[in-house]
C-alpha cells in the first residue's frame, strides 16, 4: 500500500507541483536556486571552477514543470536570470530524472542516451558543466541539504520501481 502511494506521488509530482511553483515570483525562484547552487558548488566557486561560464549562458529546463532558469558566471559570482541575451547550452529533463541525477541515483550519460536528458548547443560547454556537476562532493554539502537530497532521490528512485505485484503478473482486482 505504501509503495503504491509513493509510486503515485512520484509519478504525479510534476502535475502536483506545477501550479504552486508557477505562483512563486521569478525573482524568488531565482534567489532560491542561486542560494542552493552557492551551497552545492561552494568549493568549486572558491576554486574559480565556473570561469568557463564567463560570458556564457546555461539554460536548465524542467520539461514537465515547464520551468527554466538561465545561469552564468561573472565577477567571480554565479548569476541566475529570467532571460539571457544568449543561450549557449541547454540541459533539459523531467523533474524525477533531474532529482535522480542530483542524488546520484542515475548517471547523466545513461539518461542522455535513453533520451531522457537533452543537452543542446555548445557541446564542449555542456561537457564542462556535466564534469563540474560530477565533481561535486555531496558529502561536503550542509548536512540538512545532503540528507534532504538523499532522501528525496531515494524516494523518487523507489517510486519509479515497478510494483512487485505487477512484475509477477498478479492483480489486486477481485
What rounded mean pLDDT belongs to the chain? 89
Rounded Cα distance between 36 and 145, Å, is 9
DSSP letters for 142-172: -HHHHHHHHHHHHHHHHHTSPPHHHHTT---
List the grid coordinates of 95. 523533474
Identify the pLDDT of residue 136: 85
DSSP-derived letter for residue 29 is H
Rounded Cα distance between 118 and 59, Å, is 11
Query: What angle separates helix 13-23 from helix 2-11, to the nearest 10 degrees?
Result: 50
Identify the pLDDT of residue 165: 58
Rounded Cα distance between 21 and 130, Å, is 26
Identify the pLDDT of residue 139: 87
Q: Tell me the pLDDT tens digit for each residue of 78-112.
A: 999 988 778 999 999 999 999 999 999 999 999 99
DSSP letters for 67-122: EEEEEEEETTEEEEESS-S---EEEEE-HHHHHHHHTTSS-HHHHHHTTSEEEEE-
Identify the pLDDT of residue 164: 63
Rounded Cα distance between 75 and 64, Å, is 33
DSSP-derived letter for residue 30 is H
Identify the pLDDT of residue 147: 93
Q: Which residues of the chain have pLDDT under 50?
A: 167-174
Identify the pLDDT of residue 170: 47
Do 30 and 69 form a contact (C-beta atoms < 8 A)? yes
10 Å CB burial of residue 91 (0-12, 13-18, 19+) is buried
| 33 phi, psi to nearest 5 deg | -60, -45
Q: Tell me the pLDDT tens digit for each residue of 150-165.
A: 999 999 999 999 866 5
Amino acid at each position: 500500500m505504501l509503495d503504491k502511494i509513493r509510486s503515485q506521488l512520484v509519478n504525479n509530482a510534476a502535475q502536483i507541483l506545477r501550479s504552486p511553483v508557477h505562483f512563486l515570483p521569478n525573482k524568488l525562484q531565482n534567489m532560491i536556486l542561486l542560494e542552493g547552487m552557492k551551497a552545492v558548488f561552494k568549493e568549486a566557486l572558491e576554486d574559480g571552477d565556473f570561469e568557463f561560464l564567463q560570458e556564457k549562458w546555461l539554460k536548465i529546463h524542467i520539461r514537465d514543470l515547464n520551468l527554466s532558469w538561465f545561469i552564468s558566471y561573472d565577477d567571480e559570482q554565479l548569476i541566475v536570470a529570467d532571460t539571457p541575451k544568449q543561450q549557449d547550452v541547454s540541459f533539459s529533463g523531467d523533474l524525477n530524472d533531474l532529482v535522480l541525477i542530483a542524488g546520484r541515483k542515475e548517471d547523466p550519460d545513461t539518461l542522455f542516451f535513453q533520451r531522457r536528458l537533452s543537452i543542446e548547443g555548445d557541446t564542449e560547454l555542456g561537457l564542462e558543466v556535466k564534469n563540474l556537476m560530477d565533481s561535486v562532493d555531496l558529502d561536503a554539502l550542509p548536512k540538512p541539504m545532503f540528507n534532504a537530497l538523499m532522501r528525496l532521490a531515494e524516494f523518487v528512485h523507489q517510486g519509479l520501481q515497478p510494483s512487485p505485484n505487477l512484475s509477477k503478473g498478479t492483480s489486486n482486482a477481485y
